[in-house]
Amino acid sequence: MTDSDLSDFTDDDLFTTGSIFARRELLRVGHVPERDRIVGRDDEMQRVGKALGPATQGGPPRNLIIYGKTGTGKSLVSRHVSRRARGRAEENGVRFVNIYIDCSDADTETRVARRMALDVRDDVDPSVHIPTSGIGASEYYHYLWTLLEEVDVFVVILDEIDKLRDDDVLMQLSRAEESGKTDCYVGVISISNKIEYRERLNERINSSLQDSEFVFHPYDAEQLRDILENRRDAFQEGVLEDSVIPKTAALAAREHGDARKAIEIIYEAGSLAEGQGSSRVTESHLEDAQREAEVNRFQELVAGSTPHVKYLLRSLAKLTQNNPSKEMFSTHDIYERYQQQATAEGSEPITQDRVYRLLKEQTFLGVTESHHTGGGRGQGSYLEHRLMRDPEIVIDALDD
């Protein structure tokens, strides 16, 4: 296309958004909806509200540890309730500051301390200069404690806290008042996908936190359907085929009740329809979006894997494809297919013992499943393996 061709485009041509979506933000990951769009989490909201209730009157909040699988509403409820607590506190003349930190991004003490200092600065006094590099955690804490002199209550949500490399942040926050670093009441809401997270905390932190803990259980299909119905107005009226929401809910219910996944899939289905110039979002768009999501998830899972892991997974996927009546394959059979694959890729195959260990690693990650079987008369028991993903998905993910 020439420059003259481009000059013929009007702004409407360049920036067209199609006729599928009305309010895309309702389907954005991280969007915190209004109260009437939150489904099936009344009890959980009450528990978070009870922990923050005293803070709305200028008192100390209760620390919380919240557990649950991905997409069960932990972050959404925590952020929603803390925002409402802030509003109530302000009505009562209480200076309440709340911030949210994703520890999968800020995974060290220095990064979390920097994020806290910068976010509180933006809220309390944007004119304060805080370096974004070149100083350590202790300096960022100094900025934080100084800023909190203007605050009555500080609540920080630490999402995916199990991704933090150490627990010094919790020690600093839980002992801030006791050690005289601030007169501000500090509350911590820790969110983890791992129920065993608490066990890794040392006794001093457990003692200092004095927290309450509870679990968010997965959504069922009916709740997922209600969640999606409450976001129907993200789409233009009448563009969703009647079966799209029920089918999306059913797919997500099979995936451990993950509401985030349901919202992502229906958004991708809409995007596919929009990209194709369709006037409606159909089951076909949904199925394509689901497949694309599965491919993307598998790509993320194996992104850091060695080439030989990828050769191995492709080999098992090919074996599964070529033997539709057979689910399980011996280490020996997989190794033979792997040798062919590695050689075809121009690599020297690794040993069968190493392949055996790699298969065990993939079982730990949930990519494969393994069990011992008897080999029949004259044969000992041996290990068999099967792929826990659709082989076509695995091959497509490895091809891209």
Residue with tokens 């799209």: 244
Q: Is 201 annotated as a binding residue?
A: no
Residue 393 Cα distances to 13, 57, 365, 397, angstroms: 35, 53, 17, 6
Residue 4 Cα distances to 16, 40, 59, 256, 269, angstroms: 20, 55, 66, 53, 35
3-class secondary-structure state, position 47: helix
Q: Is 219 annotated as a binding residue?
A: yes
Q: Is 387 annotated as a binding residue?
A: no
Our separate counts of H helices and E strands in the chain read 16, 8
* Run of H or E residues at 316: helix 307-322
Residue with tokens 């702004």: 11
Cα three-residue angle 270-274-275, rounded to 5 degrees: 120
Phi, psi of 174 (to 5 degrees): -70, -20
Q: Is 394 exposed, middle or buried (0-12, 13-18, 19+ CB in 10 A)?
A: buried
Find all residues with CB under 8 Å of 152, minimum gap 6, and list them: 58, 89, 94, 95, 96, 184, 185
Answer whether 369's CB lies under 8 Å from 363's CB.
Answer: yes
Name the token pair of 85.
């607590």
Amino acid at residue number 288? D
Amino acid at residue number 59? G
Q: Is 247 annotated as a binding residue?
A: no
What is the sign, positive or negative, of the torsion defined by CA atoms of 283, 287, 290, 292? negative
- 34 vs 87: CA distance, rounded Å: 14
Phi, psi of 310 (to 5 degrees): -70, -40
Residue 322 Cα distances to 113, 230, 256, 290, 317, angstroms: 53, 44, 30, 24, 9
Q: Is 136 annotated as a binding residue?
A: no
Q: Binding site for ATP: what residues are annotated? A: 72-76, 219, 231
Q: Which residues are annotated as a binding site?
A: 72-76, 219, 231
